[in-house]
Structure 1
């Protein structure tokens, strides 16, 4: 093992301020592990953190990125959750292990130091064992996107076989929601502006695809496809005026999982449909460590393979972020180790 590590860091906002740098390799303190990072997955959040910090006060230099898979290469005293040689993935939140989120939790990659480095030191509380059935690149996608979909549908949503789920788009969270819902025995309707992406989503198990460019009132199509009943669960990834369409697409007693803000940070819509349909609205902020452990077991048992659009080399972070910003079919991943 060398005495230095390579990492990406930013000293101001904007992709132009991202630089690769060499720093001393830290050693794990008590309760910490040193992980050789093998792969790191990007999220739209990373694009926003680089651009403007999402309103957070960051300490420069800031290392971005929250999602990684790697191998433990050293442990500090008192570590019991992992040993040298274990394959692990990072948790998104530092300090949220189970139950309701405690006050003051913070995420890796902003405001806490991130994982876009060839080695990282993490608390043993901020890792879980990686799925045995996934590659490093696949395992890295679980931390944020996979866990967000799992929390929305299973941990909080109580999804059951025979229910109908509407998924908006074909990004990382959306495709995880599709795959997890199909594995649970649910029927999935995917909304997208691309016939090609809809065909690919149907190949993954979606029952129906609705092209929002051809059907701007896509909620009416959902009602038609469900014989007027509506969906039991809508994964809301857009925000703004799209929320009203999500409301209209839901069945009586349906559940709206508010996850994304790809179009607008506002939440626009009348309160009347919520009352008339007795809807449940839940905000999803990824999830806790225990839920990630549950997801890992489900991934291994169900044989789910995360969808990766493109893998980039570690030196290609700017190109990978640009790809993430314009969107992909599934996840964007950096090969690190």
Structure 2
């Protein structure tokens, strides 16, 4: 089969080659990959800034895939040949709280990912792809949609009428706007682009703040919420901005710490955190059980992913470059 192999860190070291097609063992599915979508995690792995000690070389990268089961190993009962499935990043996290070593069993590093014509997924970790979505659409769900869902529902426990702040207009953030709006929440979005803020309002956001022209954006959030702050804030930026996130969140509010776009370390001002009694929870996607519940919700509310651009398999590097420039929604690579 054809597969992209990361031979060393750096995009120049991502090479398209011929490798042996894997064969499913007991309990495993062989999936013909239809499409994959890129997340910041995928770029960070290629750049060597995401747990580099866990990255095997060569590696077939990219965690988020959708495709069709073409062969099964012994004793498989959950799926059959012809079924369409999604990969699930944390392949052994099926329900409840995460175990201590979930990162050791992630697709796209250290396990082989989906940037290939075929991939192996254990039946326990696979998720049925939504019938009303193409592979291109379904490939956007495993990290971006599921992270937004888990942050809003499992952690945030968002109720109708509450307020959510979403940072940026990337994959997680766009899904968060769509899902939070469907839950009856009021969404405030931040971005450095007025054009993107206008676009995100068409998806349901009630207000937008340009953090370039309004660097003290937390003050604007307080104005928009009558001085209270938001009930839940999805922080995808990381870095020193976490202190503004605390300021923008209501007393006893919650922050879902999802990303690290502006830095993996931070000097946290403890007194505002203590006085506001803020809960900060690191969010690393979700268990498979949450994925199953989310797909039913997306179907019920007819939520479809926002895709910025689809690239052919041979132009995977260009897709990574697009992600690095920034995307409104998701960047997808069509495999088959």
Q: Residues of 1 paired with 2:259 and 2:54: CA distance?
A: 22
Deviation digits for residues 174-217 of structure 1 (CA, Å, limit 9, x no counterpart): 11111110010000000011110000000001000111122111
Q: Residues of 2 paired with 1:8 and 1:281: CA distance?
A: 37
> Does the CA-based 8 Å contact 2:163-2:186 persist in structure 1?
yes
Deviation digits for residues 284-318 of structure 1 (CA, Å, limit 9, x no counterpart): 01111111111111111111011110100000111
1:133 paired to 2:132: yes
Give the TM-score normalised by structure 1.
0.97
Moved over 4 A (4+): none
Q: Residues of 2 paired with 1:198 and 1:96: CA distance?
A: 35
Unaligned residue ranges in structure 1 (runs of 5+): none
Q: Residues of 2 paired with 1:159 and 1:9: CA distance?
A: 41
Q: Residues of 2 paired with 1:279 and 1:133: CA distance?
A: 39
> Does the CA-based 8 Å contact 2:24-2:30 persist in structure 1?
yes
1:42 paired to 2:41: no
Q: Residues of 1 paired with 2:205 and 2:174: CA distance?
A: 10
Q: Residues of 2 paired with 1:171 and 1:61: CA distance?
A: 28
Q: Residues of 2 paired with 1:196 and 1:259: CA distance?
A: 24
Within a 5 Å distance, the mapping from 1:150-165 to structure 2 comes to 150-165=149-164
Deviation at 1:61, TM superposition (A): 1.4
Higher mean alpha-carbon deviation, 55-64 vs 288-297, is at: 55-64
Deviation digits for residues 40-73 of structure 1 (CA, Å, limit 9, x no counterpart): 0001111111111622333221110000000111
1:280 paired to 2:276: no
Q: Which residue of 2 aligns with 1:335?
A: 334
1:56 paired to 2:56: no
Deviation digits for residues 217-241 of structure 1 (CA, Å, limit 9, x no counterpart): 1111111111111100111111122
Q: Which residue of 1 aligns with 2:6?
A: 10
> Does the CA-based 8 Å contact 1:53-1:110 persist in structure 2?
no
> Does the CA-based 8 Å contact 1:313-1:334 persist in structure 2?
yes
Unaligned residue ranges in structure 2 (runs of 5+): none
1:81 paired to 2:78: yes
Deviation at 1:15, TM superposition (A): 1.0
Aligned length: 333
SS state of the match for residue 228, structure 2? coil
Q: Which residue of 1 aligns with 2:229?
A: 230
Pairwise CA RMSD: 1.1
Higher mean alpha-carbon deviation, 105-114 vs 267-276, is at: 267-276
Give the TM-score normalised by structure 2.
0.97
